[in-house]
């Protein structure tokens, strides 16, 4: 199937069992192509290699897209009730496989296992939602105000939806984005992050076992070249990309060359505005969770705490005390709250940003790798008195690092919150409802959470601006569907606008 046991020689000269990961196209695993790029996979909790990826070539990507087009025609012909039934069966099967999927994500990117299981279960609710909501959306029609005419808008699928996924929450991102695409009648070609192919391949197998047509979910594995080939494919109707702003810019340019539709969920540097009347104990708990969960590798993580000067010193002290209680360790241990960073590359980025930040701000907690753990572990880290011009204030770290900056009044808080090239998410903490709404109205971000953090609903749009991209979640509907206008005259003898040329010839 998608994983085969093999024994290869490590660079060190020692031998170890390694697994091979190839693509999954048309309902079957694909043998490695000659001269395929080979990517070594490493468990970030141990730094030990455990497998290799045989990257898909542009030719294999083309084969996957064509397979998806064929399967999509079968999927659309089933009708909405049958599509709903089969998607629901997939959700049920994924639910029963949550432990297996979580273990794969623990191994590949260091997800805390308990949270990974919870992510899978939450995501199957999204599948069930879009199994019902997607058919409703594509049955929508609108009447025109033009007399004696009927104008209908007929939404439909774009055909093939491509998903370029990140490695921070592999199973959840595939499930949520696929749910929208499949619910709206599309087929899917998934390109998981190069470091996390295993759960994507398992989910494609489960879809086949649940009765989804072979080829409805294809997985092409590999690195940047594989993703670029998928983004450039002329028969991809809509594409979603989740990842860094720099890569998102390149993806958008590739898709624009062919006038394609694209959803971009990119970076963030979300502010958390704390007013003096907030429940400081509860707020500090929420902030520590927000910047530490998944080792800070969440695009909406609240990594800039903007705190009213009246409570600033108290908040900084409480945040440092709470950060010291965060349990960092083995992601397979249910007691662990923060696991490793997902890769050596990300670890090096965090180490570098933190080292430079020590010259620009006051370190009050952490700031170092975890010395007694073998993987890519980094301490929860808090910087105080961070100026808005500092790199650590402006750049997304994608690690468990928090900046704390004081403000004197509401105007300054809003100005600091908006002093960013990102505009993804934000938080407002205050007991004053009017102030919460007033500030929320002026923050430039796609989402503002007031008195809570990182909750959503599949009914609601989650959008972004500036260098954070454009849309994701329900916003994917616009990328994965296209409208058709059908205009019909209700007059028996009406042929539409004309010059009456036939009548002139008879005179």
pTM above 0.85, yes or no: yes
Q: Does residue 483 carry a pLDDT above 90? A: no
Going by pLDDT thresholds of 50, 70 and 90, the confidence category of residue 15 is very low
What is the reported pLDDT for 504?
A: 64
**267-315 pLDDT per residue, tens:** 899 999 999 999 999 999 999 999 999 999 999 999 999 999 999 999 9
CA 411 → CA 197, 278, 279, 308, 420, distances in Å? 46, 18, 21, 11, 16
Q: Is the pLDDT of residue 385 over 80?
A: yes
What's the pLDDT band for 13 if we cut at 50, 70, 90?
very low
Report the pLDDT averaged over residues 70-89: 96
At 490, is the pLDDT very low, low, confident or very high (cuts 50, 70, 90)? Answer: confident
Catalytically active residues, by annotation: 191, 265, 299, 396
> Can you tell me the mean pLDDT for 79-102?
97
Of 58-67, 441-450, 483-492, the range with the lowest mean pLDDT is 483-492
> Could you please report the per-residue DSSP string of 300-366?
T---EEEEEGGGHHHHHHHHHHHHTT--B--TTSTT-SB---S-HHHHHHHHHHHHHHTTTSEEEE-
**Are the C-beta atoms of 456 and 300 separated by less than 8 Å?**
no
Beta bridge partners of 266: none
Question: Is the pLDDT higher at 219 or at 266?
Answer: 219
Across 217-235, average pLDDT: 97
């Amino acid at each position: 199937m998608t994983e085969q046991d093999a024994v290869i020689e490590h660079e060190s000269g020692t031998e170890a069992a390694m697994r091979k990961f190839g693509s999954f196209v048309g309902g079957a695993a694909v043998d490695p192509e000659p001269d395929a790029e080979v990517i070594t996979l490493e468990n970030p909790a141990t730094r030990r290699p455990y497998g290799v990826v045989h990257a898909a070539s542009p030719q294999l990507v083309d084969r996957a897209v064509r397979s998806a087009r064929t399967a999509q025609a079968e999927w659309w012909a089933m009708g909405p009730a049958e599509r709903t039934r089969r998607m629901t069966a997939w959700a049920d099967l994924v639910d029963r496989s949550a432990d297996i999927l979580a273990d794969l994500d623990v191994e590949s990117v260091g997800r805390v296992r308990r949270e990974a299981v919870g992510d899978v279960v939450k995501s199957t609710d999204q599948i069930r939602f879009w199994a019902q909501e997607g058919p409703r959306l594509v049955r929508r029609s609108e009447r025109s105000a033009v007399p004696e005419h009927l104008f209908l808008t007929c939404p439909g699928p774009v055909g093939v939806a491509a998903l370029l996924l990140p490695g921070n929450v592999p199973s959840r991102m595939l499930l949520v984005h696929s749910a929208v695409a499949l619910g709206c009648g599309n087929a899917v070609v998934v390109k998981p992050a190069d470091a996390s192919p295993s759960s994507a391949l398992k989910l494609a197998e489960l879809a086949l076992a649940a009765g989804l047509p072979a080829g409805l979910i294809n997985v092409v594995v590999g690195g940047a070249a594989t993703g670029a080939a998928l983004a450039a494919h002329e028969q991809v109707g809509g594409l979603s990309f989740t990842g860094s702003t720099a890569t998102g810019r390149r993806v958008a340019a590739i898709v624009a060359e062919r006038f394609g539709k694209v959803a971009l969920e990119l970076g963030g540097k979300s502010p958390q505005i704390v007013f003096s009347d907030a429940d400081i104990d509860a707020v500090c708990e929420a902030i520590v969770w927000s910047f530490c969960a998944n080792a800070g590798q969440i695009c909406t993580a609240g990594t800039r705490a903007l705190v009213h000067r009246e409570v600033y010193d108290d908040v900084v002290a409480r945040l440092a005390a709470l950060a010291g209680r965060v349990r960092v360790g083995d992601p397979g241990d249910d007691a662990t709250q923060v696991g490793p960073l997902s890769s050596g590359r990300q670890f090096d980025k965090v180490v570098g940003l933190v080292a430079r930040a020590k010259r620009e701000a006051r370190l009050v907690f952490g700031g170092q790798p975890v010395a007694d753990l073998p993987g890519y572990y980094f301490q929860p880290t808090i910087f105080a008195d961070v100026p808005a011009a500092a790199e650590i204030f402006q750049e997304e770290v994608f690690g468990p690092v928090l900046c704390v900056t004081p403000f004197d009044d509401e105007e300054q808080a809003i100005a600091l919150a908006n002093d960013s090239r990102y505009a993804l998410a934000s938080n407002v903490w205050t007991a004053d409802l009017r102030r919460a709404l007033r500030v929320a109205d002026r923050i430039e971000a796609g989402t503002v959470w007031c008195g809570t953090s990182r909750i959503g609903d599949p009914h609601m749009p989650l959008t972004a601006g500036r260098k954070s991209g454009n849309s994701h979640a329900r916003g994917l509907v616009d990328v994965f569907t296209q409208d058709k206008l059908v205009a019909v005259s209700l007059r028996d003898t009406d042929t539409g606008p004309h010059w009456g040329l036939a009548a002139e010839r008879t005179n």
